[in-house]
Amino acid sequence: MQPGRLLLAVFVGALSACASSPVQIKLAARATLPAVAVASSAAPTAAPKDLETETAMPNATPEPAPATAQPTEPAPETRMLFDFRDPNTVRNWQNIDDPVMGGVSSSRITQGESFAVFAGRLSLENNGGFASVRGRVVPADLTSFEKLVARVRGDGKIYVCQLRTRDAVYWLRFETRAGGWQEFALPFAEFVPTYFGVPRPNSTPLNPAAIGEYGFLIADKQEGPFSLEVAWIVAG
C-alpha cells in the first residue's frame, strides 16, 4: 500500500474509533450565554433573551431548528478573534481535505452576505472521510478568558472546532441544528489533545496563550454535502 493511502487509512480509522466512542471527544457543554444586542442590519425583534447552546450525543435527534435570524453582535466583555462580516477575514483561511492523503472529499471557504461559508461534500471513497478549513494567527494571550464563542448556522451535522499549538492539535465537537443561528460556548478546558483524531489524554492541556491556528472540521462518516456558516468567533 502506498504511504499516503496508509496514512489516510490510519487517520480515517481513528476518526471512526472516535465516532463510536463519543465520550472521549466531548461535545461542547451546555451553557447560558449573555444576552446580545441585535446588529444594526438585523430586522427588529422582541427583547433579547438569554441564548443557550444546544448539546446532544452524536446519535441523538436534533431539535427543530429555530427561526432564521441575522447575526448579532458579540457580548461587550468578549474579545473578537475572527469577524467574518468583514470580507477581508476569510482571505486568511484555507481548506485542507482528505485528497492530501488520497481521498476525494472537497470543501472551500467563501464569503457570504455577512458571514463565512465552509461548505463542500464529504466522501468515504478511497478510504477518505474528512474536510477542514483553518486560519493561522500570531498567538495571543487569552489566559484571562475561559472559552471561545462561535456564532454559526449549520445543517444539523456534527462539526469539530480544531485548535492547534506547537505541542498538539485539540478538538471539541458541537452539533448544529439545520437552518438556525446558534452560539456555541467552547470551553478551553474541554478541548481534548489528539493525534490524527485519536485522543491523547496524557498530553499537555490546551494553553490559550499558545493557539496559533483555529479551524473547523467535519468527519465521523457524515457522507454527502455539508454547509457551516460562521459569523464570528470571540474569546469569552
Question: What are 54-88's pLDDT values in tens digits?
Answer: 432 333 333 333 333 455 789 888 999 999 999 99
Average pLDDT, the chain: 79
Domain ranges of the chain: 3-37+49-58+73-235
50 or 24: whose pLDDT is higher? 24
CB 222 within 8 A of CB 160: no
For the 3-37+49-58+73-235 domain, the top CATH level (class) is mainly beta
Question: What are 170-206's pLDDT values in tens digits?
Answer: 999 999 999 999 999 999 999 999 988 889 988 899 9
Q: In whole angstroms, how far apart are CA 75 and each of 50, 120, 236?
A: 11, 31, 8
Strand 116-122 relative to strand 106-111: parallel, antiparallel, unpaired? antiparallel
pLDDT at 32 > cutoff 60: no
Residue 197: what pLDDT? Answer: 82
Name, in order, each residue with C-beta under 8 angstroms of 24's C-beta and a sequence gap of 6 or more: 18, 192, 199
